[in-house]
A and B are shown apart, each in its own frame.
Chain A
Amino acid sequence: MKRLTPSLLLHILLLVLAVGTLAPLVWMLSASFMATGEANSIPPRWFPAHPTLDHYRVLFTRLDVTRYLWNSTAVALTTTFCSLLITSMAGYAFAKVRFRGRDRTFKLLLAALVVPSQVGMLPLFLLLQKLGMVNNLWGVVIPGVASIYGIFLIRQYALGVPDDLLDAARIDGAGEFEIFWTIVLPILKPILVTQALFTFLGSWNDFLWPLIVLSDDRRYTLPLALANLVGEHVQDTELMMAGAVITVLPVLLVFLVLQRFYIRGVLMGSLKG
């Protein structure tokens, strides 16, 4: 075993770990192309004998997956857009705009982070019902828009905006909103992308809240539709895998393209700790 240099051992370990990490996702993809019943064979198969697109066809035609894709996209994009607007304004203000009570309010918000979201879920549902937002995609979007964590993230980054730049603009007579829109936002762009990414992924993957709010299956988002599908088609392994692929692929792609920003966000969130 003299050949087993530390480097080789290290890379073997990493490879084993990588294979183990990817295996479930690879099987998911592979099973989605298998013929019906093939995924339930003994011994289990890794790859389809004759790959088929049947299940995807069924999902997109009979099972209306396009609609769920559209719902998920609409909800995620709307939430992201509204959230960006609101959290960027608030995050910047908490960092760079001098107003009384600013730091106390911010500390209060941070304290609120400790409260888990489930505590208010039932009353929130009843509240939305009074406002007519139940069974409605807005009922899914609105509660997710003002994210305290998002405000914290943006404030953290905004602290790095040079004060002299802002003060100079103020002396020149620029309005606060103008300063925000024309000077600050461009500087914040990297963290905005990160925040948008977090919000988009969080919204796309959200399950419990849409489960509670949406009863009409035409309004379902993908995770809901998928869970519903399991209730009826649990024996149809291959079909379920195709559904899982459709749900997971968009976020994986978004992540792959924008991973730099996502990773930055993860690290920034941990800086305070």
Chain B
Amino acid sequence: MLSCSGSRWAVVLLAAALLAACGCAKPAGQGGVTLRMWAMGREGEVVGELLTDFEREHPGVHVDVQQIPWSAAHEKLLTAHVGRSTPDVAQLGNSWIPEFAALNAVEPLDPFLAASNTTPKSGFFPGIWETNVVDSVTYGLPWYVDTRVLFYRKDLLKQAGYDAMPTTWAEWRRSMERIKAQVGPDRFAIFLPLNEWNPPFVLAASAGSNILSADGTRGAFQTPEFRKAFDFYLDLFSDRLAPPINDNGIANLYQEFERGYFSMYITGPWNIGEFRRRLAPESQDKWATAPMPGPDGAATGLSMAGGSSLVVFRGSKHKPESWLLLEYLARPQVQARFYRLTGDLPARQESWSDSALVADPAILAFGEQLRRVAPAPRVPEWEQITRKIIERVETVVLGGANRDSALAGLDRDANRILEKRHWLVERARTKGASR
């Protein structure tokens, strides 16, 4: 019976529901500002520690960090932009900057930079700074740099007859074969998760491929350079030097490395900290890092000009405070501290003289590699193209597809994805030409 007591209950419940539905925000300081920040992966877990000092310096500003897994980050950021629910500040992989700039989603930072005397452009690695600039406008502030190098088992490599990591592809390949001969059919020489696009990209860059052509509007996957890298990469699987699995085909990466399930792994600086934390103390002197070998020697061993930047979204209602946060995180001491917490390499060159960095032998390989890096193609559709690369690789490694048809298919995929960009670029060109 929808009697009096029934409807009273209903009203109470509705009121409670309404309250919750309006979303109780965390109270900021007295009349203060709450900045919303999105950060991914390990950085997201750790950045909160750096922020207590920031909040102390700026009473009245509170920072609310939301952690997002990398696997969902791109999607969530785009959805938030379309839904006009972006945070104030976010960490953005620098290969995404062209995309978000094209969407008009992020705020140009040049006015803030001009007015700042603590954050000069010259303080950052030039190659990395460039990845944040689109059409002469700066959209992001580099937070940390990321490149990929080889992490490897010194002892197993030595057993295979090598005192140091080879610098040419041919020698590198031979060392992997020797390791495989030592460890047997159930273990492997190198772990290349099939759901990562960075290893094939790194190899392609080293082989001299541009991945895309015609101002980033067409696929260039059937060029001899890309083919060379593609073959080198796929042969590692077909010759059983690498296990044909994803990164979730292994229960625990660090355990397996320790057990010698694989001896080499192409990954980034955050794993320096992870290896130190998760491998047993007696295993700590068994691993080391080395720059990527190149097809024709060390100088041709390129890697990614990667990293993350910090951006301020155009939809933010607290842009000055957001900039303060960016500036804070770009300070040399804070960058050094961030390095200690995560192992992520500072984007600020000054921080590299920090004692922890200087003393760390694992960092040497990264420092050297950073002199030979190539950025991913700076097109908004890059993320979608990387998915296609991964899918096509899988069809060959797991599905037995033919390499020629996989590459032809990849070109078709890329052309289809880039069709709109192609049309826009053509349109801009003809407009310019008809002037």
Indicate yes or no for A touching B, C-beta below 8 A.
Answer: yes
Type the 1/0 row for A105-129, where 1 means its CB is closer than 8 Å to any CB of B: 0000000000000000000011011
The answer to whether A219 and B71 have CB atoms under 8 Å apart is no
Pick the residue among B20, B66, B69, B252 that contacts A216 (CB under 8 A): B66
Within 8 A of A (CB), among B60-118: 66-69, 71-72, 76, 79-80, 82-85
- Kindly specify which of B8-16, B209-217, B219-227, B282-290 makes contact with the partner chain: B8-16
The answer to whether A235 and B251 have CB atoms under 8 Å apart is yes
Q: State which size class the interface on B falls in.
A: 20 to 34
In the bound complex, CA of A227 to CA of B21 (Å): 21
Pick the residue among B10, B21, B71 that contacts A74 (CB under 8 A): B21
In the bound complex, CA of A213 to CA of B85 (Å): 10
B430 is an interface residue with CB less than 8 A from chain A = no
A46 is an interface residue with CB less than 8 A from chain B = no
In the bound complex, CA of A129 to CA of B83 (Å): 5
A225 is an interface residue with CB less than 8 A from chain B = no
Within 8 A of B (CB), among A127-165: 128-129, 132, 134-138, 141
The answer to whether B21 and A137 have CB atoms under 8 Å apart is yes
In the bound complex, CA of A75 to CA of B23 (Å): 11
Within 8 A of B (CB), among A208-245: 212-213, 215-219, 228, 231-232, 234-235
Say whether, besides A40-B251, A134-B85, A234-B248, A212 and B20 are in contact (CB < 8 Å): no
Secondary structure of the A contact surface, majority rule: helix
The answer to whether B76 and A215 have CB atoms under 8 Å apart is yes
The answer to whether A81 and B17 have CB atoms under 8 Å apart is yes
Say whether, besides A40-B251, A216-B66, A231-B69, A135 and B85 are in contact (CB < 8 Å): yes
Pick the residue among B1, B10, B72 that contacts A186 (CB under 8 A): B1
The answer to whether A71 and B20 have CB atoms under 8 Å apart is yes
Which residues from B are CB-within-8-Å of A213? 83
B18 is an interface residue with CB less than 8 A from chain A = yes
B4 is an interface residue with CB less than 8 A from chain A = no
B433 is an interface residue with CB less than 8 A from chain A = no
In the bound complex, CA of A147 to CA of B369 (Å): 59
In the bound complex, CA of A230 to CA of B83 (Å): 24
In the bound complex, CA of A168 to CA of B84 (Å): 55
Say whether, besides A77-B17, A232-B67, A235-B252, A215 and B23 are in contact (CB < 8 Å): no
The answer to whether B18 and A78 have CB atoms under 8 Å apart is yes
In the bound complex, CA of A234 to CA of B253 (Å): 13
In the bound complex, CA of A232 to CA of B80 (Å): 20
The answer to whether A137 and B83 have CB atoms under 8 Å apart is no
In the bound complex, CA of A77 to CA of B9 (Å): 12
Q: Which residue of A lies closest to B41 (CB)?
A: A232
Q: Which residue of B lies closest to A128 (CB)?
A: B83
Which residues from B are CB-within-8-Å of A70? 20
Q: Which residue of B lies closest to A232 (CB)?
A: B69
Which residues from A are CB-within-8-Å of B164? none
The answer to whether A135 and B21 have CB atoms under 8 Å apart is no
The answer to whether A228 and B13 have CB atoms under 8 Å apart is no
Which residues from B are CB-within-8-Å of A232? 67, 69
Which residues from A are CB-within-8-Å of B21? 74-75, 78, 136-138, 141
Q: What is the number of contacts between chain A and chain B, taking CB atoms within 8 Å?
A: 79
Say whether, besides A74-B17, A78-B18, A235-B251, A215 and B69 are in contact (CB < 8 Å): no
Which residues from A are CB-within-8-Å of B83? 125, 128-129, 134-135, 213, 215
A50 is an interface residue with CB less than 8 A from chain B = no
Which residues from B are CB-within-8-Å of A11? none
How many chain A residues touch the partner (CB < 8 A)?
Answer: 37
Pick the residue among A75, A126, A136, A137 that contacts B82 (CB under 8 A): A126
Which of A71, A125, A218, A234 is most buried by chain B, counting CB atoms within 10 A of its CB? A218
Which residues from A are CB-within-8-Å of B72? 228, 231
In the bound complex, CA of A186 to CA of B3 (Å): 9
Which residues from B are CB-within-8-Å of A235? 251-252
In the bound complex, CA of A125 to CA of B369 (Å): 44
In the bound complex, CA of A215 to CA of B67 (Å): 12
Type the 1/0 row for B347-375, where 1 means its CB is closer than 8 Å to any CB of A: 00000000000000000000000000000
Say whether, besides A81-B10, A189-B1, A129 and B84 are in contact (CB < 8 Å): yes
In the bound complex, CA of A185 to CA of B20 (Å): 28
Which residues from A are CB-within-8-Å of B22? 137
B17 to chain A, nearest CB (A): 4
In the bound complex, CA of A40 to CA of B248 (Å): 14
In the bound complex, CA of A134 to CA of B315 (Å): 14
A219 to chain B, nearest CB (A): 6
Within 8 A of A (CB), among B1-37: 1-2, 10, 13-14, 16-23, 36
Which residues from A are CB-within-8-Å of B1? 186, 189
The answer to whether B2 and A186 have CB atoms under 8 Å apart is yes
In the bound complex, CA of A235 to CA of B71 (Å): 15
Pick the residue among A40, A77, A134, A186 that contacts B13 (CB under 8 A): A77
In the bound complex, CA of A81 to CA of B23 (Å): 19
Which residues from B are CB-within-8-Å of A73? 17, 20
Type the 1/0 row for A37-55, where 1 means its CB is closer than 8 Å to any CB of B: 0001000000000000000
In the bound complex, CA of A181 to CA of B2 (Å): 9
Which residues from A are CB-within-8-Å of B19? 74
The answer to whether A136 and B252 have CB atoms under 8 Å apart is no
Pick the residue among B2, B13, B20, B80 that contacts A215 (CB under 8 A): B80
Which of B71, B83, B251, B252 is most buried by chain A, counting CB atoms within 10 A of its CB? B83
Inter-chain pairs besides A128-B83, A232-B69, 5 sampled, C-beta below 8 Å = A81-B17, A126-B82, A213-B83, A217-B66, A218-B23
* 7 closest A-B pairs by CB: A135-B85, A74-B20, A134-B83, A231-B69, A78-B17, A137-B21, A215-B80
The 10 listed contacts between A and B (C-beta, < 8 Å) are A71-B20, A78-B21, A125-B83, A126-B82, A135-B80, A137-B20, A137-B21, A185-B2, A215-B80, A218-B23
